[in-house]
Amino acid sequence: MSQLVNQTPWQEWMKPAASVAEMPVLDMLKEAGATIKPAVLAKLQSEYMQEFGQLWQNFAVSKLPELKDRRFSSSDWHTHAMHAYSAASYLLNARFLMALAESVEAPGKVKQKISFAVQQMIDAMSPANFLVTNPEAQAKLIESKGESLAKGITQMLADMQKGRISQTDESAFEVGKNVATTEGVVVFENRLFQLIQYTPLTKTVHQRPLLMVPPCINKFYILDLQPENSVVRYAVEQGHTVFLVSWANPDTSMSDVTWDDYVEQGAIKALEVVRSISKQDKVNAFGFCVGGTIISTALAVLADRGEHPVSSLTLLTALLDFSNTGVLDVFVDEMQVSMREQTIGAGGLLPGRDLASTFSSLRANDLVWNYVQSNYLKGEAPPPFDLLYWNADSTNLPGPMFCWYLRNTYLENKLMQPGALIVAGNKVDLGKIDAPVFIYGSREDHIVPWQAAFASTRLLNLKQKNRNTFVLGASGHIAGVVNPPAKKKRSYWLNPDAVGKDADVWMAGATEYPGSWWPVWSEFLAEHGGKMVKVPASAGNKEFPASEPAPGRYVKVRAD
């Protein structure tokens, strides 16, 4: 990205693309072996020149352009003609470049990669990202008599030391003190995870406990940020005895850990401990994102062994069918997977910062360039925000585990194929999981497209589709999930008669309801939680005693 910034001077964005061959995107197309029909290219050129000509005419008569992009919402962009013209020229060139990318004749995946690369270049080249073309930063520089720039440089150097851009005031948070504060104790640990049992908040609890398996690619406390937006606390308040897997943040001692280990020593072991402590044959299971993939794989493995230990399964924004992986697909092909296998497939670690950078690039304007502008150009200190603190608290992954996951799910999509995979010594057939399933997808999710989450309804309970519940929530991968009822925000959609059918058919007949989807999930859990019983006298049992207060040690280990 920095290479693009250095190679393409900002002034180029203020020039008309009279010769399209001068634009760097065409070199990219040639290298990818992609083409654009001459007639389409000529049409785009003609439209571009007409719009650019109109822009010049307006500038000549001092008619300022409309700037509807929120990056240029400040009055500084609208009151200075040169800056307004700079932004308008950039937006025109950006539209033209994306139109070029969308007009490419190439296989779907190649076209997707081209569009992604062009979008990254466009985002990087915004005049808002450079001091010389950002009037807001210039005004701040003059107003502060240079102090804003000095502070910005200091913050940039500090971030270079950390190896990442600061998105929040990280000194404002401490795990266990003001995030991840729901009361509980650790009742089991091995090298892969600690198991937390949370303290009941009701006089009676459902007979069957709830085991929550979060993703291992980041910390569990996204489900327990603050008391008012904690999924964990909400479940406890609804009368459930909640257990949660807190994954270890791998170091070199875990460089040999495999996907089989995460399934056998992770999810399956957690199920064993929870059943032992609760003295229940069946428990409610829950998986979020990759945690949903892990717990589903574990239940399929146990089904192949003739065991069915759950009374229900909840999957939040989780992939089982990897046919549609959204924009993440641009990072997965045979070459990239093979490269990872050669470097860390037999042993090693995938650094957490690599994953963090990948996810940030999916929303570069929000998670990268926004902070370049505020932190460095304007010298503003980022405000405290619990979710962004969590976002920066990245985790490493064991190389063998990551490479197996990348190849067998994202690249080859074998998990959804009955018997195509052997995990922990058993064939994986998701159709053999014998439990009602609650599946949630977020409508604007760019990591797990909601249609991909919905696809799980066609893999589970094949003979009894009425055992599957699908709920679609508003917003994205995280904000859609963390949507407590008390906030009275957003909305959700239901269409129980079309679950298991085509996603578009389901959406066409779905009914929208205001507020949070959590109460719908609560009703589902209560239905499968068994009768209400007295609260246990203490956490754990003789075999698995309480060892330390929640949130435990593992979640406090930082990747950097």
Annotation marks residue 289 as catalytic: yes
Nearest Cα to Cα of residue 394 among 239, 82, 67, 170: 170
DSSP 178-218: TBS---EEEEEE-SSEEEEEEPP-SSEEESS-EEEE--SSB
Pairing of strands 283-288, 310-316: parallel
Write down how long the chain is. Answer: 560
State how far the Cα of 309 lies from the Cα of 543, in Å rounded to an integer.
Answer: 20
Residue with tokens 């009703």: 523
Nearest Cα to Cα of residue 466 among 431, 433, 436, 508: 436
For 80-203, strand residue ranges (E) read 184-189, 193-198
Residue with tokens 């005004």: 139
State both tokens at 554: 């593992």
At 489, the amino acid letter reads K
For residues 386 and 225, the answer to whether their CB atoms sit within 8 Å is yes
Outline where 434-485 has alpha helix (H).
450-454
Q: Catalytic residue among 55, 180, 213, 289, which?
A: 289
Side-chain half-sphere exposure of 363, counting CA atoms within 13 A: 12
Nearest Cα to Cα of residue 209 among 298, 306, 295, 281: 281
State how far the Cα of 79 lies from the Cα of 269, in Å rounded to an integer.
Answer: 63
The burial of 73, by beta-carbon neighbours within 10 Å (0-12 exposed, 13-18 middle, 19 or more buried), is given as exposed
Active site members:
289
